[in-house]
Structure 1
Amino acid sequence: MRWGSCGVARRSLHATAIQYYSTPAPVIKIENAAFYRRYPGVNDSPGTNPPLLEGVNFTLPGNDGRDPSQSWSVISPSSVARTTFLQILAGQHICIPPQARSYPYLSTISQSPQHAIKYVGFDAERGSNVGGTSVRGAYLSARYESRREETDFCVQDYLTGHTELNALERDDSAVDSRTFDEVTRQLNLRSLLQMPVANLSNGQTRRARIAKALIAKPEVLLLDGPFMGLDPNTLQTMAEVLRQIAERQQPRLIMSLRPEDGVPEWVSHLVVLDEHLRVVGQGPRQVLLDGDAEAINKAEVHRILNAAEHAHGAATQVQVSRDGFERNSPPLAPGEALVEMRGVRVAYGDKVVLGDWQQSVTGGEKPGLWWSLRRGQRCAILGPNGSGKTTMLSLITSDHPQTYSLPIKLFGRSRLPDPGQPGISLFDIQRRMGHSSPEVHAFFPKGLTVRRVLESAWADAPLSKPKLNDEAKQRVDACLRWFARELNPADSEPTIAERLEAAKSDEGARELRAQIISSNADLNWASRHTFREAKFSNQRLLLFLRALVSQPDLVILDEALSGIDEAIRDKALLFLSHGEKVSRIVDNVAQPSMLARIGATVVDGLSPQQALLVISHSKEDVPGCIREWICLPEPGEGREPRTGVLPGPLELNPGAWGEIWGR
């Protein structure tokens, strides 16, 4: 009996072992964990070290080839929420209790999360903190120069890790050639391998960064906002590439999405977070969409997952855009020309990057780009990635060296002197332009205080001393007060703007405002907090306001609101056109602010004397005041640009987006 019992016990143990080993261990497992930016201690003052996320549960299962694979996406209106969740999966941030986050499968193959999980972000800050996967030039105009520097690494060097300045020998054995060939083919990088990384377009840079991560053969690939900043055609290509990666499960793919991105059909599971970094829903996609999941905030899940549909479907019901424009809003009358391009053609040797076409101009067909921008105009420059938008913009800002030699006039003057007229200097141009872009974000000095960031709009360079008069100081104060909730989120007290809106009478609001202005104590935080300490969305907002605050002749917004939180974006767009005059949109009506009611506005939005130039691939980021547009052709096609005029805000004329892109 004893031996029989022992045999049964052995068979039972063997069966249990088979069951255990046949069930793949989870790749990532998080059980009821809280995460902090720094370790919580007893000496922490209340509210100084709140948890980033609490009660987190998440499991990324292994795959033994028999069970259907899971493809996860993290979706939230908040860029901070999306990024924080992916960083947690990658092993960042303090986990309490420490054992609540584990990587069972990685332990079985003796790999650390730092090597087996690759995080790739697509904005100025996150992209530079992921272990050398950032593609960044030495300075802002370097990408437009024909001269190659020692640090101008080509795409192949970047992908294979050969970026040492004094590397005497190349060791290609560290990169598997078969993997390299497969990845570069899959991401359509073969023709770009010898191009300097600083010359890549936004879409090309994105593909190169994903390729670098894939060549390292990670177990998990975390992509933070892979669809941001891509034109509709490139977006479709990228979506197909990611679908193939997700289906192969080599590596396992988890990506973050904005609600307006939509959720690709091949995504099977979702994590839904709200603006307050709370997980409100998690699980199979269809279960969440049907509202059948348990233990979640169904209303919040429904609101977030249907945000894009509401935005698109609202055109039949909403009569006023989110920034206060009616469906049919005629453009302003154009004034004098601020930018004139008469036959512009930019080439590097035999390669033409802008103006490789014949354009219909009064009097017949003429070569190159013929285009102008006048006071009062609100124009969008659109086109596929690599079509020359950035080159065109660099000519306008005079970052491009060829601005000197091409037929371009800025504010009525050329860069080089004309007979009887001096050339316009770079400092003259900078004083008359306000410019915000991801590139400006990447190179902006991080040590400046929040106040100095805005004041630098009156300086020759961000680090030089600004020249401020009383009006300039008032405009800075007005911007800081209007966006105090966004720029100083740690303060839970009502902002001055909120207190004014809650005033019971106009006279009470006037008295309160007079008390505030006399001391300015409510803005002390702006002289303490630095640009570096601000969250990504707040940094983008600051640079957006910096482009507006000095009321320049030309405001340039190049993907200026890309990746910021939806609520902040909508408030920024409303401020762009109406300043402090309009507080919000309620029931298709633009609500006048208390400041407007008492005649105390300082910033009134864009004036008819200003021009606005916008570059964006996301129609949600296009301001409602945009009326003119130019769409550059695909590179190498030789077709002339298409132009047009919008009858009103793009948000309320959704068919116009397809017309712009020729779809």
Structure 2
Amino acid sequence: MRWGACATAAKRSFHVTARPYHSTVKHVIQIDNAAFYRRYPGIKDAPGSNPPLLEHVSFTLPGDDGRGPHQSWSVISPSSVARTTFLQVLAGQHICIPPQARSYPYLSAISQSPQHAIKYVGFDAERGSSVGGTSVRGAYLSARYESRREETDFCVQDYLTGHTELNALERDDPAVDGPTFDEITRQLNLRPLLQMPVANLSNGQTRRARIAKALMAKPEVLLLDGPFMGLDPNTLRTMAEVLRQITERQQPRLIMSLRPEDGVPEWVSHLVVVDEHSRVLGKGAKQDLLGGDVKASNKAEMLRILNAAEHAHSSASRIQVSRDGFERSSPPLVPGEALVEMRGVRVAYGDKVVLGDWKQNVSGEETSGLWWSLHRGQRCAILGPNGSGKTTMLSLITSDHPQTYSLPIKLFGRSRLPAPGQPGISLFDIQRRMGHSSPEVHAFFPKGLTVRRALESAWADAPLSKPKLSQDAKQRVDACLRWFARELNPAQSGPTVAERLESATDDEAAHKLHARIIADNADLDWASKLTFREASFSNQRLLLFLRALVSQPDLVILDEALSGIDEALRDKALLFLSQGEKVRQVVDNVAQPSMLARIGATVVGGLSPQQALLVISHAKEDVPGCIREWICLPEPGEGRQPRSGVLLGPLELNPGAWGEIWGR
């Protein structure tokens, strides 16, 4: 696994403050054969009610005497839960058994607590993707698209210096290290953004701001959970160079988590490999692990995880069917009526143009603004660098953006404002005809809803209002819950309904078993008890993904909907998006039909030709195999018109197309 060449290193480095030297170098983090629990284990615990999060963990982050080579560590796992849990353990979270098995000798020697000396930064909705540190701004999401500044619109400089309290009497103005602030903001390229409201930052800008905030505290250890997740290729290279420089300075020491598909940067020297079941398979120098020259449990599984990205690329020529059931060459569907029409859209806040600052060739004529449409049957991806206007474009489609009313936009054949002889389309009409999943939806979705109510809210005017369910709607909810019972229900120990049907002796036996299960419906009692809050991060993303699909809306919008989700779950979700219950898995280039399809009992059949799909993603692996059209927005301020094109088949089987989309 080799990364491409990183961006050229900056000529200057961060301001370096010498660390105190101790004659005896002490370990920064020391863990010796420990188990970790969410709550303290007790004899009164019911069997299986408090399983260990991690077991048999041993890890050492050495101190630095300036004489030996630096160690740069990464935790790699296909499970987002395993990656996050391991980093949280290093940060001093979770119960350690025995308690003395985890220690911080170096931090004790310099009289620092782990809470202050170790900073954890995660990059998803559950772990605090907002830089503001307050939910005030989230009370009115569309406010981010307005030019008026509110008192709660803290700028980047306020955020980095800690000036984010509304009440001046409660504000404890911290002393800001001027040279450190200048060096950090310069190195992370934040100086042009210092006066920008934090809510207006793009994804990549937000990550740089959150890393800068952590660096301002001058920690001994910086833990970054998924720093490359959801970044476009250009921003990813920039971020990789920033992290490389931090690693070389070792101030702070950097430990980050990676997905297998991220690959391993060349400058990472040591790895911890954790599998989907949170078992530590191996740890040590990267070259030793990749060569298999290390004692490790389940060595074959460890090597599979380490080489996942490389294997996927090298085997692309042998795979003929994508993981979601599409052949290498599969033409797009014939487009139907237009669902979204933009005819010369230009979005500006005062003098600043954020979308449509270009001339576009339309029918042989140069016209201003964005000209674009989406039709029934089309599966389209909106791509482009962070900050290029993808979120703005999407907010116009969902009608969250206030300027939707005044711009030349038609949604389902109608504009937001009434026209002669035609009423304007209402927000409720739009919501009923769109299914939308995104990290922003995830961040503000009501956490107290049960799993069942979360899916049923697809038929409600708002998540907390009462849904209007037909018998068909109830059957579709049940079908989704059964298909993903093992993933959504943590107490699922025996075979699921789908697994029981697959093991039936013949079609007639499967048909009778299915009829009994449907009549009883007791297998889904858990869905009315388990809440959204109790589900893991991956399962929450899965629920919102299913919520966008379950009501069969005219337009399905997936905005980074599967970002951060576990690899196996992501693949199953993409297969369900395209095939529904008809296909259970793809094995050896063959889409295996499910028993439900064989007995004619499928309820959810995947996307129909009457539906349109719109996807925003920065990771090739998260793009569904059915995507055929794409539009790539230009870098902001360049004035170049967007590029667009058509794919001949799934990106998974046409890897060269990804580089063409991004102009590489």
Give the secondary-structure state (helix, strand or coil) at the position aligned to 2:366: strand
Larger CA deviation: 479-488 vs 510-519 = 510-519
Deviations 1:485-504 (A, max 9, x none): 00003221111111111111
Q: Judge conservation of contact 1:134–1:209 (CA < 8 Å) in 2.
A: no
2:392 paired with 1:391: yes
Once residues 256 and 106 of structure 2 are traced to their aligned partners in structure 1, the CA distance between those partners, rounded to angstroms, is: 20
Once residues 214 and 94 of structure 2 are traced to their aligned partners in structure 1, the CA distance between those partners, rounded to angstroms, is: 21
Give the secondary-structure state (helix, strand or coil) at the position aligned to 1:555: strand
2:605 paired with 1:587: no
Length-normalised TM-score, structure 1: 0.96
> What's the counterpart of residue 226 of structure 2?
225
State the shift of 1:295 in Å: 3.3
Q: Judge conservation of contact 1:135–1:198 (CA < 8 Å) in 2.
A: no
Deviations 1:134-153 (A, max 9, x none): 99743332211222222111
Q: Judge conservation of contact 2:476–2:603 (CA < 8 Å) in 1.
A: yes
Once residues 495 and 591 of structure 2 are traced to their aligned partners in structure 1, the CA distance between those partners, rounded to angstroms, is: 22
> What's the counterpart of residue 278 of structure 1?
279
Deviations 1:574-630 (A, max 9, x none): 000000000000110000000000000000000000000000000000000000000
2:627 paired with 1:626: yes
Q: Judge conservation of contact 2:123–2:129 (CA < 8 Å) in 1.
A: no
2:347 paired with 1:346: yes
Once residues 113 and 267 of structure 1 are traced to their aligned partners in structure 2, the CA distance between those partners, rounded to angstroms, is: 23
Where do residues 444-523 of structure 1 align in structure 2 (5 Å cutoff)?
444-523=445-524
Give the secondary-structure state (helix, strand or coil) at the position aligned to 2:43: coil
Q: Judge conservation of contact 2:343–2:408 (CA < 8 Å) in 1.
A: yes
Q: What letter is aligned with 2:360?
A: Q
Q: What letter is aligned with 1:40?
A: P
Q: Judge conservation of contact 1:128–1:134 (CA < 8 Å) in 2.
A: no
> What's the counterpart of residue 374 of structure 2?
373
Once residues 87 and 129 of structure 1 are traced to their aligned partners in structure 2, the CA distance between those partners, rounded to angstroms, is: 19
Once residues 204 and 131 of structure 1 are traced to their aligned partners in structure 2, the CA distance between those partners, rounded to angstroms, is: 13
> What's the counterpart of residue 299 of structure 1?
300
> What's the counterpart of residue 120 of structure 1?
121
Length-normalised TM-score, structure 2: 0.95
Q: What letter is aligned with 2:420?
A: P
Deviations 1:476-523 (A, max 9, x none): 000000000000032211111111111111111111111111111000
1:426 to 1:250, Cα distance in 2 relative to 1, 3 A: same
Instruction: Please provide the CA RMSD for this pair.
Output: 1.5
Once residues 338 and 134 of structure 2 are traced to their aligned partners in structure 1, the CA distance between those partners, rounded to angstroms, is: 42
Once residues 467 and 135 of structure 1 are traced to their aligned partners in structure 2, the CA distance between those partners, rounded to angstroms, is: 31
Q: Which structure 2 residue ranges, 5 or more long, are not aligned? A: 1-20
> What's the counterpart of residue 154 of structure 1?
155
State the shift of 1:219 in Å: 0.5
Q: What letter is aligned with 2:533?
A: R
Deviations 1:330-386 (A, max 9, x none): 000000000000000000000000000000101410000000000000000000000
Deviations 1:125-180 (A, max 9, x none): 01269994999743332211222222111111111111111226977652211111
Give the secondary-structure state (helix, strand or coil) at the position aligned to 2:316: helix
Give the secondary-structure state (helix, strand or coil) at the position aligned to 1:481: helix
Q: Judge conservation of contact 2:131–2:210 (CA < 8 Å) in 1.
A: no
Deviations 1:19-43 (A, max 9, x none): x953310000000000001100001
Give the secondary-structure state (helix, strand or coil) at the position aligned to 1:316: coil
> What's the counterpart of residue 4 of structure 2?
none
Give the secondary-structure state (helix, strand or coil) at the position aligned to 1:141: helix
Q: What letter is aligned with 2:660?
A: E
Give the secondary-structure state (helix, strand or coil) at the position aligned to 1:272: strand
Q: What letter is aligned with 2:427?
A: L
Q: Judge conservation of contact 1:142–1:198 (CA < 8 Å) in 2.
A: no
Larger CA deviation: 77-86 vs 21-30 = 21-30
Deviations 1:452-479 (A, max 9, x none): 0000000000000000010000000000
> What's the counterpart of residue 260 of structure 2?
259
Q: What letter is aligned with 2:275?
A: D
Once residues 415 and 535 of structure 1 are traced to their aligned partners in structure 2, the CA distance between those partners, rounded to angstroms, is: 38
1:283 to 1:130, Cα distance in 2 relative to 1, 3 A: farther
Q: Judge conservation of contact 1:222–1:253 (CA < 8 Å) in 2.
A: yes
Q: Judge conservation of contact 1:338–1:374 (CA < 8 Å) in 2.
A: yes
Larger CA deviation: 395-404 vs 141-150 = 141-150
State, as a whole percentage, how many aligned pairs show the same letter: 87
Q: Judge conservation of contact 2:77–2:83 (CA < 8 Å) in 1.
A: yes
Where do residues 545-560 of structure 1 align in structure 2 (5 Å cutoff)?
545-560=546-561
Q: Which structure 1 residue ranges, 5 or more long, are not aligned? A: 1-19
Once residues 462 and 596 of structure 1 are traced to their aligned partners in structure 2, the CA distance between those partners, rounded to angstroms, is: 32
Once residues 411 and 131 of structure 1 are traced to their aligned partners in structure 2, the CA distance between those partners, rounded to angstroms, is: 36
Once residues 128 and 490 of structure 1 are traced to their aligned partners in structure 2, the CA distance between those partners, rounded to angstroms, is: 29
Deviations 1:399-429 (A, max 9, x none): 0000000000000000000111000000000
